[in-house]
Amino acid sequence: MNTNFLKLSGVLALTAFAQSARAELKWEQTSVDLRPAFNDKQAVAHFKYENVGNTPIHFKSVHASCGCTTAQTQNEQVAPGQKGEITATFNIGGRTGTQVKTVTVQTDDPEPSTIVLTLKAVITPLLEFQPTLVYWQNGEEPKPKIITAKANKDAAIKKLDVASSTPDFTAKVDAGSAPNEFRISVQPRDTTKAVYATLTIKPDSPANTGNMFAAAARVMPPAPTNKSTLSTIRHDPATPTPTAGSPRQ
């Protein structure tokens, strides 16, 4: 029998076996967008997978990108046809805005062996302010200026209390032009002197949570004045300054 034919047959058999004995972990999605409620403590993402190959797959490691996020898988080994999920839990704490956390997963699935899962949480704060600072130029007419406060729609805030750290400013609160909106009117008593104040803002909801926010008001100092002192040297025309070539008497 031809030895080359035997070698070729062996190679083809091994190739066919390798193709038939394959592992493949298929993910339902590798990125999850979440919008936690204002009083949620955690945001949890579920990344579902399935072994669509015909050999087992093993998880080598599952690591979250930071200490505020944990990740765990249901199984260390995924049999052919088996489904499961990796759960990523982000501890919100006092964070607001868009938070992006990742989980890096390594398996013995050859292609690919590393997958990065992404959890994105958009956290709406209890209150948002625009602007956070109002100010007056020195000597400007002391008219009120407005800070707009927008409340989280799920917080059911009906009232804001505002206190100034100094008596140089007064503040009052009225309903805004849109739902869940407040207008904080801030006015200085005098704009002839520089002064700064912190405005402490406390909502009536959630009750007994002690949530407080801060804005600021300021009267600017007077603009600096630039004075140029010009020195002139005057010479008596009757006694001219001697020069190097002038004869001495």
pLDDT number for residue 129: 96
Q: Collapsing DSSP states into helix, strand and coil, what is residue 185?
A: strand
Look at the chain and count its residues.
249
Mean pLDDT (the chain) is 85
Per-residue pLDDT tens over the stretch 38-68:
788 999 999 999 999 999 999 999 999 999 9
Contact residues for 60 (Cβ-Cβ < 8 A; gap 6+): 106, 107, 108
Indicate the pTM of the whole model.
0.66
Top-confidence residue, 27 or 208: 27
Top-confidence residue, 103 or 245: 103
Share of the chain above pLDDT 70, in %: 80
pLDDT number for residue 182: 97
Q: What is residue 4's DSSP assignment?
A: H
Q: What is d(CA 62, CA 43) in angstroms, rounded to the nearest whole number?
A: 18
Q: Collapsing DSSP states into helix, strand and coil, what is residue 237?
A: coil
Contact (Cβ atoms closer than 8 angstroms) between residue 190 and residue 170: no
Q: Collapsing DSSP states into helix, strand and coil, what is residue 233?
A: coil
Residue 112 to residues 78, 103, 106, 116, 240: CA-CA distances in angstroms?
A: 16, 15, 9, 11, 95
Q: Is the pLDDT of residue 124 over 80?
A: yes
